Amino acid sequence: MQISQALVRQTILILLACAVVLTGCSRMNLAYRNLDLLIPWSLNDYLDMNRDQQTRFREQLREHISWHCRTQLPGYLDLIEQLQAQVRQGSLDEPALREHYEIAQKAIQTIALEITPTTVQLLRDLDDRQVEELSEQFERDRQEREDKYLKPPLDQQIGKRTDRMQERVEQWLGNVTAAQRQRIHEWAEALNKQNQLWLDNRAQWQRSMVDAVRNRDQANFDERIARLLQDREVYWTAPYRAAFPAVEQATIALIVDLYDTADATQRRHISERLQDMRRDLGSLDCLPATAD
């Protein structure tokens, strides 16, 4: 995932309570029941699983979803309530955003730990044809993303980055002002050639995954897959790693500035969005009963 996209999701959507596996979804119940949401990449996009593999995978994933709904969602509801209070009080400042960002990172790690055994077993059970198919699909994915994100001239890449961010911001604020649009464009310009760093980093992780799966008969296979899922930073390229802190800071600063310049209508839009999410998530029947 591109640094900018990752931070948009983890800092706008997660920090504003869509949180982890629910990021970017307008209908919480529908999105939450999507069986692919609890894995780091959509297996159905890359693998042609046979019937037995599909059956086992879906059974295990339903168990993970039930676990997540029962044990993790209550914390998300608390987070939404806290965010609602901060919006009402006007106290959603940079320290508060960073705190929520850290909470989101921990939540992602908790999910990675939970789904690792299932993913390890699924990948171990692949046959040689499926492994090569995985490699080929990764290569097609890389080429398609290069065509979309790298072939256009840099000024067009920045323009598209601005548009994508504005679209995400407007999910929370409603229509942005000209000044807010300009601030978003400044952020997009600051990321410069970020698309190249993102794609190189993504390709390195995918190559590492394919290499691990090709050697799934080795004794350290479980450990290698666990690291790929739980310690993804280990596989970052050096340029991506070097760029990440500055991009992280730029994105958080953007969000702070957009929130600070939000008018009463836009802040009301944030509050209503949070309330809708809290209602949708709170209505899930998998949540533990509250004590009377």
What pLDDT does residue 287 have?
A: 61
Alpha helices in the chain (DSSP H): 3-7, 28-32, 43-46, 51-71, 73-89, 94-124, 128-149, 154-173, 178-191, 194-214, 221-230, 238-260, 264-282
In 3D, which of 230, 257, 239 has the Cα closest to residue 39? 230
Q: What mean pLDDT do residues 128-143 have?
A: 93
Side-chain-side CA neighbours of residue 89 (13 Å): 10
Q: How many residues are listed for the chain in this entry?
A: 292
By the 8 A CB rule, do 184 and 162 touch? yes
Residue 129 predicted with pLDDT over 50: yes
Q: Is the pLDDT of residue 32 over 70?
A: no
Q: What's the rounded Cα separation, in Å, for the pair 141 and 136?
A: 9
- CA distances to 39, 52, 112, 117, 218 from 58, rounded to whole Å, are 12, 10, 17, 14, 26
pLDDT of residue 288: 66
Half-sphere exposure of 26 (CA within 13 A, CB side): 4
Q: How many Å from the N-terminal Cα to the C-terminal Cα in the chain?
A: 44
Mean pLDDT over 42-67 rounds to 79
3-state secondary structure 129-145: HHHHHHHHHHHHHHHHH
User: In angstroms, rounded to a whole number, what is the distance separating the alpha carbons of residues 44 and 77?
Assistant: 30
Closest CA to 277 of 70, 105, 26: 26
pLDDT tens by residue, 228-269: 988 989 999 999 999 999 998 999 899 999 999 999 999 999
